[in-house]
Structure 1
């Protein structure tokens, strides 16, 4: 048992720590993958709304109506917003990030720089940006000469699928814990019984260092511990033989000395 705590338990704990680190990384990667998947699904739905607003803007341009005067665009935005209760706001910005139209009458000036950068600098016409609370999606708008004139920005409230996020997190956590417990038990059993021969070697070393008889330990023939015990036994027998020979030599020396004393007398 002492050998187990000194060697095996340390090895088991090390493997468990590595296992925890790997499973934690997998948990994080799977959740991030799910978040990306959910964002893509919602973005696909919002792309339809963006396309309908882009169509209204293109119609106004073809008629020669200035964008700021195209009231049909704002009407189209209001109708698009009403299609999904989770869409909190729809805006149309110019190529400088300034808000041209917005379903929120209080929204004026320039849009958030991070959103403006993604909307106007993205290499994809259809773009999206996910934050902790909202999903921003839209479509870039180009004029008849192919120059970027602005972008549609749709703000989607992610609170609608927070419950799904929590459920997925719970299932991922449950699976991660179950996998850890399973492999933790497997690792424990493999090390406990697979390294039993090493435990016997350590016990043999301890018994030999303490001067105990190593023959009291049961070992299986053909194992490392058996060969090690055999070597210890041979070493002990050799030590016993050498000690006996030394004793015989000492007795012989004593006998010779006594004989010399008698002859001298």
Structure 2
């Protein structure tokens, strides 16, 4: 397998990779602090790669504040595009494979159909556009890449929709949740496992892949499931996205087709609700 280097180790997915690595007994893995692994500093990256000599790099570093990105365009572009480019260049120089995390937000999501890797990406917000530009930069520089587009990431770590709902549900009697944005939640622990499966396969089937949990839901139904499973008593009302305007427009339908990743790596993917039960169990036990 060779040594694995995780960039963006402090974020949600980075913490999940740490947990899964210890569960799977993966010891040849490094989680450097941001000060040592700043993707906007190519000189620093070169020093890090020289020292660690990774065979694989997992890039979890990203600018993910979707609404804020509309105002902080330059910062979003720097992290999501320029940072990805620098990382691809240093991977190429050191012969390392790159696993890069992207998003369902590269799609417009205006048609109700499963989105495949071959569908035309047409982002409708700054975040999606910068993530797509990051993908393109990697593809143009580095052959040994696996770009994984994922959606609605949550876990027991960091800030995410599940933890926000639990907090709000404990404080309020009633919540209004958007019901006309449809996609698939993804438990970041499941994604972390898949990333290690891809590395373990030592495959050369490089390219773009889609990964989320199985199934389809809206934010409204996702919230209802969170409260139901956690036995939180709160009334949830469905509202249209137009009733809760945000700076960034979201794709209305972004359910991804996962056939390619399943067949290439022989994966069976958990249903979103089953994974949600696992996450809520973890949160209860912490």
Task: Give yes or no for TM over 0.5.
Answer: no
Higher helix share: 1
- What TM bracket, shorter-length normalisation? under 0.3
Question: Which is greater in Rg?
Answer: 1
TM-score w.r.t. length of structure 1: 0.24
